[in-house]
Amino acid sequence: MTETAAIKPKQAKNKKYMLVSFGRMNTLGWFEHHENNVPKLPSRVVVKTERGLELGRIVGQSCPYRGGQFKLSPEQIKKYFSDSEIDIVVEEAGKFIRYATADDISEEKHLRKISEEELKCCRRFVEELHLPMKIVDAEHIFGGERLIFYFMSDGRVDFRELVKRIAHEHQTRIEMRQIGSRDEARLLGDIESCGQECCCIRFLKALKPVNMRMAKMQKATLDPSKISGYCGRLKCCLRYEDKTYTDLKNGLPRKNTVVKTAHGQGRVIDTQILTQLVMIEQADGTKIAVPVDELEEISAPAGEKDEQGDAAGSEGQDGAEDKKQ
């Protein structure tokens, strides 16, 4: 046996990871573990993150684990979010400690009650210091190492004195985290107008901005009270079918286009995206509705701006306005 073969290191065994949702913001992360069997039913777990011990939920019961390893690789998870055009990265977040026990669940409820008192205390200090901020929620880390306050503000806030007072009151490490209106809905929202739990709470992790162009294209009412969600911004569900509406609209002729049908020539005066019907006005003033696949375009309207270009141009402006909300 040669010297090289004698000192050749052993091949490292593959690490096993489980996908866990943890924290008040339902952050997704990979956690290393050594379990051979992962329950197929919804299960709570205790994990160790950079913030300390935390309670989380195993993700992916519908995508079974094999020998303790999640069926999909990190690359496949990344591709899934990429294909869905969702800007989110799932990284290694810590280690699995144990499956949660009844005592762990009881302790979680106890900490939640404590955090409500801590929340009231923090809000009182904010009023005393006259700080321009709104305290939304508080999260007491399971291991007791850290107390996190989520707040909203129009700009930067000097909360150093606030942190000192809270730390002196509760004798623990304090973290202040600024959030937006959509994050507030994720923390405090409940049931939306559709009768379902808010998407951002139930499953939605990230979504591109929503703008008024989407509401107009789907012919939804433009009443702000009806197209705005719990967060006060445009409902996330307006984006769900936007690509379908856009593709269908691209297959329809523009207004004033001259077309030929089985009933003769006419001019396009209106279109219906979902039914793919085209309303045509004939030379004698008669109006008829014809399926788009039963007409032939003769000439496009001259000197008229491209409606799709106008819509695309206004999308950026509407999107920017939505971000400011």
* All domains in the chain, ordered by first residue: 16-100 (no CATH), 105-179 (3.30.300), 185-245+311-324 (no CATH), 255-305 (2.30.30.60)
Spell out the residues 6+ positions from residue 59 whose beta carbon is closer than 8 angstroms to its own: 19, 20, 21, 28
CA-nearest of 170, 171, 189 to 179 is: 189
For residue 279, give both structure tokens.
């309303």
Q: Are 149 and 101 in contact (CB under 8 A)?
A: no
Q: Which helix (H) or strand (E) holds 77?
A: helix 74-83
Chain length of the chain: 325
- What pLDDT does 13 receive? 54
Neighbours of 16 (CB within 10 A): 19
Residue type, 49: T
Per-residue pLDDT tens, the chain, 325 aa: give them: 444 444 444 434 578 888 888 888 888 888 888 887 787 777 899 999 988 888 988 887 666 777 677 777 777 777 777 666 666 667 788 899 999 999 999 988 888 888 888 899 999 999 999 999 999 999 888 877 789 999 999 888 889 999 999 998 888 889 999 988 888 888 887 788 888 888 877 777 666 678 888 888 887 677 887 888 888 888 888 888 888 899 999 888 888 888 888 888 888 898 888 888 989 888 888 888 889 888 888 877 665 544 444 444 444 444 444 443 4
Q: Which residue has the tokens 């989380």?
A: 56
- What pLDDT does 62 receive? 61
How far lies 106's CA from each of 9, 103, 139, 148, in Å?
A: 47, 5, 16, 20
- What pLDDT does 221 receive? 72
Neighbours of 284 (CB within 10 A): 7
Q: 135-161 burial string, b = 16+ CB within 10 Å, else e?
A: bbbbbbbbbeebbbbbbeeeeeeebee
Widest CA span of the chain, in angstroms?
99
For residue 196, give both structure tokens.
């379902």
E strands, 203-294, where? 258-261, 264-272, 277-282, 287-291
